[in-house]
Amino acid sequence: MTDGLVWAGGRFDPIPFGPFSFSVMQALDYEVQPRIAPPDALPNAYVKDITYGPSSAFHQRFRSSNDLTLRVSVGNDGGFTQVSAPAGAQILILPATSTTEAILSDAMVRGEADSTGAYKSGVLAPGKYHVLATYDLIDRTPESIANIWRERNRGQEVDVGPNVTASATLLEAVPLQVRR
């Protein structure tokens, strides 16, 4: 994790706290992946949205234009999910608002239950999520994301409220491999 911008070639520029701007952005495709750092300073902070001009670019690429403004909105009322699942299972927390497999791939939260089956997520934006446990390999290949997309509604739905920890109890792991 970095606290700044990493450019092609590895050049690093720190981002100042508060508003800032780029003097020139080349007309290329960009994807913004901001992080809240250090997390201990703002324990309930999360990225609410990223807009480029009038459109959301959150979990999506956008093509730059000198006429539009890029804005990152941050909330400080995030919640958490406490999961009880089979020991050692992979945990997937999937935003119910994900409308495509590409957005799901970027927006899903992954973790692993400990030897007692416990897992607590990092900060989540308030909203509804589907929580799944699986023992299958999880990666970001199109096949894996398609399997997760297909099975997402088999997870337990939780509603993460502002500054609240929602609980999910998953009694079994969901197989995500393609069944023939």
Cβ(97)–Cβ(66) under 8 Å? no
Residue 1 is predicted with a pLDDT of 37
Q: For every residue of 39-54, which 3-state class applies, written as one string?
A: CCCCCCCEEEEEEECC
Q: Residues 119-136: what's their mean pLDDT?
A: 96
Residue-level pLDDT at 45: 85
Model confidence at 129, in pLDDT bands (50, 70, 90)?
very high
pLDDT digits (tens, 9 = 90+) for 11-30: 666 555 566 656 566 777 77
- Residues spanned by CATH 2.60.40 within the chain? 80-169
pLDDT for 25: 66
pLDDT at 77: 92
Instruction: Give me the pLDDT at residue 73, please.
Output: 84
What pLDDT was estimated at residue 13?
60
Taking only the tens place, the pLDDT of each residue in 76-114 is 899 999 999 999 999 999 999 999 998 899 899 999 999
Peptide bond connecting 14 to the previous residue in cis, omega within 30 degrees of 0: no
Q: What is the DSSP letter of 141?
A: S
Q: What is the pLDDT of residue 15?
A: 57
> Between the CA of residue 151 and those of 25, 62, 101, 169, what are the distances in Å?
40, 29, 12, 17
pLDDT band at 180 (very low <50, low <70, confident <90, very high): very low
Report the pLDDT value the prediction gives residue 93, as an integer from 0 to 100. 97
- Work out the average pLDDT over 43-64: 83
Q: Pick 71 or 90 by higher pLDDT.
A: 90
Which residues have CB under 8 Å from 36's CB, separation 6+? 42, 45, 46, 47, 74, 123
Specify the CATH architecture of the domain 80-169: Sandwich (2.60)
- The model's confidence at residue 178, banded by pLDDT at 50, 70 and 90, is low
